[in-house]
Structure 1
């Protein structure tokens, strides 16, 4: 019975002396500051016809960037975009080249069937 009383008293003391209630203790999050960065990458692989890349720069709430990709029809799709504060994502899409659709030629030749 005495050990239960000591346990309850220790629990009450821990709750009462919680560090969040004491000034000077606890965690306060640092003030949020807008980011600043610049990055880019590009991939061009002639063997597999992969050609794509991305570039973006941010200074505060102003973001500008672009990306491009070689489409399966042979055109290059480019997207240039900006984001400034609460204005949202504003994109301009453009294409280079003309779509090519080569004639389909199946490579499978079934063996003759003898019934």
Structure 2
């Protein structure tokens, strides 16, 4: 049996994949670049008396969208091992700046995020 978290994770992942595919397609100029990778590491145990009934939650995924025509440029990588989640995402904002976020969380220290911005100055010529 899958845990409620596993089912929810797979539903969110399918939705994100569908959204990325729709966003990545530019109807006027052909397809844009989009990729993803998912690795699930189920360490399931048997249903005997000496075994845990639930699988140890462990996964990693990443995705990337690059559509220079619309400016939709983003990527994410996340991994989980037990109650420890680590990840990174970056996106180009509408103002031209790039936001980079490294995050981690666990059951002892909670959620922490380090957010940085790379400011890209626009130059205008008359």
| TM-score, normalised via structure 2 length | 0.51
Aligned to 1:15: none
> Which has the higher Rg, Structure 1 or Structure 2?
1
- The structure with the greater share of residues assigned to strand is 2
Aligned to 1:68: 90
How many residues get paired?
A: 73
Aligned to 2:99: 77
Superposition RMSD on alpha carbons, in Å? 2.1
SS of the aligned residue for 2:108 comes to helix
Question: d(CA) in 1 for partners of 2:56 and 2:105?
Answer: 13
SS of the aligned residue for 1:86 comes to coil
Question: d(CA) in 1 for partners of 2:53 and 2:123?
Answer: 55
Structure 2: unaligned runs, 5 residues or longer: 1-51
Q: Deviation of residue 33 (structure 1)?
A: 4.4
Aligned to 2:108: 86
Structure 1: unaligned runs, 5 residues or longer: 1-29, 103-115
Question: d(CA) in 2 for partners of 1:37 and 1:74?
Answer: 32
Question: d(CA) in 2 for partners of 1:53 and 1:41?
Answer: 6
Poorly superposed stretches of 4+, deviation over 6 Å: none
Question: d(CA) in 2 for partners of 1:69 and 1:101?
Answer: 21
| TM-score, normalised via structure 1 length | 0.56
1:96 partnered with 2:122: no
Aligned to 2:69: 47
